[in-house]
Structure 1
Amino acid sequence: MKRTLLTTAILFPAVSWAVLPDNLEWITNNNEPLFASPEAKFGGTLRTSMPSFPQTFRTVGPDGNGAFRVWLLDKQPQLLQRHPDTLNYIPDIATHWAFGDDNKTIYLKLNPKAKWSDGEPLKASDFSYMLQFYRSKDIIDPWYNTYYRTQIDRIDALDEHTIEVVFAKELDNEALLYFTHRLKPRAEHFLKPKTDKNNDGVDDNFVRRFNFKPEPTLGAYHVGKVRKGKSITMQHVGEDWWGYTNRYYQNRYNVEKVSIKIIRDEDIAFKHFEKGNLDVYSLGRPELWYDKSQSKPFKNGYIHRFWGYNQMEVGAGGFWLNTDKPMLDDINIRKGIAHALNVEGLNEKIFRGDFSRKPNGLGVGLGAFTNKELSPLPFEPEAAIKYFELAGFDRIAADGIRVNKDNQRLSFAVTYSQQVVTPQLAYLKEQAKAAGLELTMNLVDGSSAFKFALEKKHEISYHSMGTAPRPQYWEYFHSANAGKPQNNNFTNYSTPELDELIMQFRSVFSSKEKERLSREIQRQVHDATVIVPGVMSPYIRAGYWRWMKYPANPMQKKTEALFTIGRMDDFGTYWIDQEVKKATQKAVQQGQSFEPVTVMDTRYKP
């Protein structure tokens, strides 16, 4: 059987499972290089922060797609992982996998040591329940309902530690692996309903009952102490966590607790960091890296700086134009806005040239799924004016803003979530005046801003989304989500042509054909000018107190963060050296200093 992956093939003898096909070719892969350090030490509490408290601890349903779900679901163990450097598939919850001969079925052997964080063993039936859960109307989440009803036929538990996943359509082996490996079970014992009139295994009042009732996890951390609106502590399961039976998890997730404090103002959070009240802090913003990191704690060597390059996929985002709002349904207005936003100048003047512009609003770095022929409309006020005039805005008010014959102003509110973004938008606002466009700034606190966009209340929303190695388009541009709240169609844009392409993209057998369709979808969305691309950076920058340690080769191709800074975007390869911490704190008290340190990891620099 042909394979496109670097794997170790093992031919198991016939087993006693009656429903398993004979002579399955079981595959595993324990040969990839390790990326954690054997020098790592277990223990201690990492102190970090985030700007807002989550709207819910649910990961589905209303407000379930917030930033904190990274802790609760996105970065939790799944059936298989992809090695962060070689990108080959490696064991996670599953130890082995095998393909059926119908181009629809994949079999997986689960790690028998796997346990939920509440001590209950993982059951193969938790994957069957996952499918039942996502199909239930009680979760009030149309995306999950649609995807798991249309894309997966069934998931069967064949015994305590073996599952069969059968897809609704034929897929090549590469696609079978991709769509299977990211599946994460749901804890049936925890989600057992109190009332279930629909007889679907899900509580009729799921959304309300589990709003702030976090589920057990399979990961190293689970939600511990919560002070609503103030802090969340993520508690390690312990050194006997089942994941450590997997070689790829060894020497990772080394701190016993992660204390996440809610600090709404980034400047105040940085002051806490300088005082040693936080262990790590993102220095991604240029003013932090170039200016504020010149303070005494840095110069005295108490705080170190890190700059490391990666090769991450970049998700959709920038300026999302809501076509359900007045004027934004006119493509001439949208093209005018695109030409009036001086994103190139923003990078040079505000970001000091450290970033680069996204070539299109649907993301990059997805290999052949990315349409590399696309480029953003440049800042050209003259071109913007021509489009605005075509839309009827051919007059100029006393303050320089364009108006139409009905005296309607060419003015839009830009919604954003953090105060630190204000200078960026202030620059764009001034530049847009050259084309007669008025931008007003609508700062909405943290997670509430994302809720605002989910509810489709924005005119223009300035935010970016994460992505997987393969893009998803149904949630962003299918008509089933246009004009409806609580989904990711932030532009409310759809067309019959896009609908057809998106459904073909979801159903085709060949990965090559899927790549072609992806490029065409990106072209049509680009031509519609409903997302104005923002900026991106192929690196991470962080500050950390000198007691924070990490491997000799800190960066992998897919390293999103070196440390846990508010979000669990890292691989947990860092640890705390308690002896160094004591020595550093003593040095601070006595006024002693160390050599300042800046670490650069350029192995993956473009």
Structure 2
Amino acid sequence: MKSCFRVLLVLFFLASTAFCDQTFPKPDWKELPDPVASPYAEQGGEVCVYIGPSPKSLNYYLENSSIAAHVFSGLYESLLSMSSRNLEYEPHLASKWSISDDKKTFTFWIDKRAKWSDGKPVTAQDVKWTFDAIMNPANKTGVHKVSLSRFESPEVLDDHTIRFTAKEVHWKNLLSIGTFDILPKHAYENLDFNKINFELPVVSGPYEIGELTENVSLTLERRRDWWNNDAVNVQGVNNFDTIRLRFYGESENAFEAFKKGLIDIIGVNTARTWVKETEGQQFADNWIIKQKIQNYRPVGFQGFAMNMRRPPFDDVSVRKAMAHLINREKMNAAIMYNQYFLHKSYFEDLYSPDNPCPNQPYDFNKDKARKLLADSGWKVNPKTGFLEKNGKPLTVKFLTRDSTAERFLAIYEQDLKDVGIQMVIDKKDWAAWMKDMDDFNYEITWAAWGAALFKDPEGMWASSEADRPSGNNITGFKNAKVDELIEMQKSIFSVEERHEICRKIDQLVYEQCPYVLLWNIDYTRLLYWNKFGTPDTVLTKYGDDSSAESYWWLDPYSVADLKDAMEQKLPLPPKPLSVVFDEVFVDPVMDKPKN
């Protein structure tokens, strides 16, 4: 399952005005092997990974979550894919495509070899039906409507040719229509789209659903009859016969299962686990490998999202006070072993030492918080010790879904209480949390976001997205100046010019403080049992730990060595603790081997 390409397809677009009035691929185009995939990879076996809590749906169009996206990426395919070598578009369901002079008409020719798992051909009617289903107002497809709304409903020219017409020129247009997943019309057209959740029997991708045990696990089974199995650029990829995705509501429970051997690979999201709980014979003798992977994965952001649609967070002074009341330095030192950098931007990777971020951090300062609150009319009731305004106390309800947050919230709660703010913790499971988020039924919550190499600020920061259910603008952010800048960047094909506009947007958003920004890292922390073959780079250029499912393989010699080592209590040879992509990557086609 090339789940890392979900990241590429959803997030990246290499814009170029040279693409206009041309047909792709060029006549001299030829397939090249994937530069990350190992020629030594073997197919077969099973890998078990922790994916997160049990989802409420596997239909990515209905559940806007990384879990659903992860599963969907193995089941369904898009018209185009993207090269892991240079981020240029490659044929996928479409064998070729063209773009008109005015950059508004896009025509795709579907590969006549492409077939659904039931043997029926993939057709232009499937593409049109999927587009129309996403755009149907009755369907709860949320954020997926955003980019496709820039197009008219596509025109079917024949069974294998479809044409899209854009309402406006936008640098993201080809990405939008080239990379949304196509569903089989004949399998789903007579169903209620909003009820297509776990039954996904007809697929076109390299994997299909095997067993689903609610709240326990899901298996994906490799399709030996996948129509694209013989393509040059998928050799050494999609190696596991079975991918078992284990569900745990708490990451701590998943880590305990990992140490018992119930999970093979796990990404580590907590510093305490990484620093203090990777000790003992399993780690010392290299039965379990611990690696820090540095590649080009863009840096997102995380923070406490505040619902600006309702009091008290409709007041920017209250939001800024909340930011001044979190002791990030203390939390980083006391709980996270100083493993993280502290956020001061929503677009961290758009800044550098040569182009530093001008945003001034919201420092931990109770006096500043008190002044902001007082200026906004909040006064301490001497009888209760809590702030009040118009006879109502300043009480905030924190919606959480993970017990690992409790250590941080305990510190935050005490500092809020010290200035007169009462915080109530409302803990729910993943499904209930997602429903509340979709319905904007929350006051403040912890949210983490991935990032794009090339930024599109519309979905998260446009006023038009503030009231879209299941969208990304979860805080309800609205700002006229930001809207103007978002409109401005739509027709700009220069990446650098767009990034400069995003830096301006970042500074405007930062001033309005929709999130209490927290912290992050710029690498991937990975643990795995020492029984796999991996590429030299371990992960892909832009991928996270999920790319292991696509590029690793079960190595029979390593499996035997691990079994013997554990039985005889012997060490295995170590692997590098740190892997830097650029230091080990060699493109077998474009680069000469290093001496």
Pick the TM interval, shorter chain. Answer: 0.7 to 0.9
Taking the aligned partners of 1:517 and 1:441, their CA distance within structure 2 comes to 38
> What TM-score, normalized by structure 2, do the two folds share?
0.84
Taking the aligned partners of 2:569 and 2:314, their CA distance within structure 1 comes to 62
Residue 35 and residue 160 in structure 1: after superposition, are their counterparts in 2 closer, same or farther (change >3 A)? farther
Structure 1 segment 437-586 matched on structure 2, within 5 A: 437-483=421-467, 485-506=469-490, 514-515=498-499, 517-561=501-545, 564=546, 570=548, 572-586=550-564
2:294 counterpart of 1:293: no
Aligned residues: 565
Taking the aligned partners of 1:511 and 1:584, their CA distance within structure 2 comes to 47
| Match of residue 336, structure 2, among 329, 351, 355 | 351
Query: Is the CA contact (8 Å cut-off) linking 1:169 and 1:509 kept in structure 2?
Result: no
Residue 137 and residue 177 in structure 1: after superposition, are their counterparts in 2 closer, same or farther (change >3 A)? closer
User: What SS is found at the alignment partner of 1:486?
Assistant: coil
Q: Which moved more, 1:425-434 or 1:575-584?
A: 425-434
Q: Which moved more, 1:300-309 or 1:343-352?
A: 343-352
Question: What is the aligned partner in structure 2 of residue 141 from structure 1?
Answer: 141
Deviation at 1:279, TM superposition (A): 1.0
Letter of the aligned partner of 2:325 in structure 1?
A
Query: Is the CA contact (8 Å cut-off) linking 2:99 and 2:106 kept in structure 1?
Result: yes
2:42 counterpart of 1:56: no
Q: Which moved more, 1:443-452 or 1:509-518?
A: 509-518
Structure 1 segment 408-423 matched on structure 2, within 5 A: 408-423=392-407
Question: What is the aligned partner in structure 2 of residue 184 from structure 1?
Answer: 181
User: What SS is found at the alignment partner of 1:53?
Assistant: coil
Letter of the aligned partner of 1:184 in structure 2?
D
Deviation at 1:481, TM superposition (A): 4.4
Question: What is the aligned partner in structure 1 of residue 4 from structure 2?
Answer: none
Question: What is the aligned partner in structure 2 of residue 197 from structure 1?
Answer: none
Structure 1 segment 280-319 matched on structure 2, within 5 A: 280-315=265-300, 317-319=302-304
Question: What is the aligned partner in structure 2 of residue 70 from structure 1?
Answer: 69
Deviation at 1:42, TM superposition (A): 0.6
2:262 counterpart of 1:262: no
Deviation at 1:215, TM superposition (A): 5.6
Taking the aligned partners of 1:179 and 1:376, their CA distance within structure 2 comes to 35
Question: What is the aligned partner in structure 1 of residue 210 from structure 2?
Answer: 224
Deviation at 1:161, TM superposition (A): 4.0
Deviation at 1:157, TM superposition (A): 4.0
Residue 155 and residue 351 in structure 1: after superposition, are their counterparts in 2 closer, same or farther (change >3 A)? same
Taking the aligned partners of 2:71 and 2:268, their CA distance within structure 1 comes to 25
Deviation at 1:167, TM superposition (A): 1.6
Taking the aligned partners of 1:90 and 1:444, their CA distance within structure 2 comes to 42
Query: Is the CA contact (8 Å cut-off) linking 1:234 and 1:259 kept in structure 2?
Result: yes
Residue 272 and residue 72 in structure 1: after superposition, are their counterparts in 2 closer, same or farther (change >3 A)? closer
Query: Is the CA contact (8 Å cut-off) linking 1:321 and 1:531 kept in structure 2?
Result: yes
Taking the aligned partners of 2:24 and 2:59, their CA distance within structure 1 comes to 38
> What TM-score, normalized by structure 1, do the two folds share?
0.83
User: What SS is found at the alignment partner of 1:81?
Assistant: strand
Residue 465 and residue 448 in structure 1: after superposition, are their counterparts in 2 closer, same or farther (change >3 A)? farther
User: What SS is found at the alignment partner of 1:60?
Assistant: coil
Structure 1 segment 111-150 matched on structure 2, within 5 A: 111-141=111-141, 143-145=143-145, 147-148=147-148, 150=149
Residue 366 and residue 185 in structure 1: after superposition, are their counterparts in 2 closer, same or farther (change >3 A)? farther
Query: Is the CA contact (8 Å cut-off) linking 2:126 and 2:182 kept in structure 1?
Result: yes
User: What SS is found at the alignment partner of 1:404?
Assistant: strand
User: What SS is found at the alignment partner of 1:245?
Assistant: coil
Q: CA-to-partner distance for each residue in 1:156-188, whole Å, 9 max, x for gaps? A: 3444444333222234xx644433432322211
Letter of the aligned partner of 1:93 in structure 2?
L
Residue 48 and residue 572 in structure 1: after superposition, are their counterparts in 2 closer, same or farther (change >3 A)? same
Q: CA-to-partner distance for each residue in 1:461-510, whole Å, 9 max, x for gaps? A: 11113344444444434444445643333212324554555455556677
Deviation at 1:333, TM superposition (A): 0.6
Letter of the aligned partner of 1:48 in structure 2?
V
Residue 182 and residue 316 in structure 1: after superposition, are their counterparts in 2 closer, same or farther (change >3 A)? farther
Residue 301 and residue 232 in structure 1: after superposition, are their counterparts in 2 closer, same or farther (change >3 A)? same
RMSD: 3.4
Question: What is the aligned partner in structure 1 of residue 591 from structure 2?
Answer: none
Taking the aligned partners of 1:437 and 1:602, their CA distance within structure 2 comes to 45
User: What SS is found at the alignment partner of 1:428?
Assistant: helix
Query: Is the CA contact (8 Å cut-off) linking 2:398 and 2:443 kept in structure 1?
Result: yes
Question: What is the aligned partner in structure 2 of residue 252 from structure 1?
Answer: 237
Structure 1 segment 391-430 matched on structure 2, within 5 A: 391-395=376-380, 402-404=386-388, 408-430=392-414
Query: Is the CA contact (8 Å cut-off) linking 2:123 and 2:159 kept in structure 1?
Result: yes
Taking the aligned partners of 1:267 and 1:302, their CA distance within structure 2 comes to 20
Query: Is the CA contact (8 Å cut-off) linking 2:302 and 2:518 kept in structure 1?
Result: yes
Residue 35 and residue 582 in structure 1: after superposition, are their counterparts in 2 closer, same or farther (change >3 A)? same
Letter of the aligned partner of 2:569 in structure 1?
G
2:106 counterpart of 1:106: yes
Structure 1 segment 132-211 matched on structure 2, within 5 A: 132-141=132-141, 143-145=143-145, 147-148=147-148, 150-171=149-170, 175-193=172-190, 203=191, 205-208=192-195, 210-211=196-197
| Higher RCO (Cα < 8 Å, 6 or more apart) | 2
2:36 counterpart of 1:35: yes
Residue 374 and residue 94 in structure 1: after superposition, are their counterparts in 2 closer, same or farther (change >3 A)? farther
Deviation at 1:336, TM superposition (A): 0.7
Query: Is the CA contact (8 Å cut-off) linking 1:393 and 1:402 kept in structure 2?
Result: no
Q: CA-to-partner distance for each residue in 1:4-55, whole Å, 9 max, x for gaps? A: 889999xxxxxxxxxxx9x856434645861110111111111223442111
